[in-house]
Structure 1
Amino acid sequence: MKNERGFTLIEMMIVLLIISILMLIALPSMTKNNSLVKSLGCEATIDLVQGQVGAYEAEKNKLPTIKELFDDKYIDTTTCPDKKPLVIDSEGIVSVSSE
């Protein structure tokens, strides 16, 4: 007769307990960093759009609006990742709309 060994119920319960404890430690830090990621994503989007404002201005010799940048395919979004709309002021500076 072969002596086949497998995991016992106790061993499986210990492994599940360890995984549960690790998840309890990891999940709160992940959700806490979610807001930081969104704000950094918005900053990156603003920097990207600001660069495209410069490219548009160099090609067309005028400051664009967000709609012109989007319509001419310079950008593919007019909002930050958190869905706040972007605006370009009269000096060509990109920012988040206060609306």
Structure 2
Amino acid sequence: MRNENGFTLIEMMIVLLIISVLMLIALPSMTKNNAIVKSLGCEATIDLVQGQVGAYEAEKNELPTIDQLFDDNYIDTKVCPDKEPLLIDSEGKVYVNNEDEEDETP
């Protein structure tokens, strides 16, 4: 009787083939969804900053600018994850100045 303690070369090649096929299936779908993830990250950041605008307004009785929120440590960034700068209009609505999307401008 032979004592077999490890994998044979054929078994290792089959495992590597299976892993390669799974990677070929998974990678394209991950890269496709990258733009969606960035968009949702920006929406979440806008919602967070909008909440901080309300907190600042309740505490100081005035609408803040992005710089005031940042300087007073209400927020820790002035940009979305996709590096678009955040802005606040005269009514206190947070938005991103993005010419491609009409619905986000005030």
| TM, length-normalised to structure 1 | 0.94
Residue in structure 2 matched with residue 47 of structure 1 by the alignment: 47
Residue in structure 2 matched with residue 75 of structure 1 by the alignment: 75
C-alpha separation in 2, matches of 1:47 and 1:71 = 19
Show the 5 A alignment for 1:54-73. 54-73=54-73
Per-residue Cα deviation, 1:54-91 (whole angstroms, up to 9, x for no partner): 00000000000000000000000000001100000000
Per-residue Cα deviation, 1:43-62 (whole angstroms, up to 9, x for no partner): 00000000000000000000
User: CA offset at residue 8 of structure 1?
Assistant: 1.1
User: CA offset at residue 14 of structure 1?
Assistant: 0.7
Residue in structure 2 matched with residue 90 of structure 1 by the alignment: 90
Report runs of 4+ in structure 1 exceeding 3 Å deviation: none
Residue in structure 1 matched with residue 21 of structure 2 by the alignment: 21
The secondary structure found in structure 1 opposite 2:62 is coil
User: CA offset at residue 98 of structure 1?
Assistant: 3.7
Aligned residue type for 2:80: C
Q: Tell me the number of residue pairs that the alignment of Structure 1 and Structure 2 aligns.
A: 98
The secondary structure found in structure 1 opposite 2:2 is coil
The secondary structure found in structure 2 opposite 1:84 is coil
Specify every segment of 5 or more residues in structure 1 that has no aligned partner in the other structure, as ranges. none
User: CA offset at residue 7 of structure 1?
Assistant: 1.1
Q: Among the aligned pairs, what percent are the same residue?
A: 81
RMSD (CA atoms): 1.2
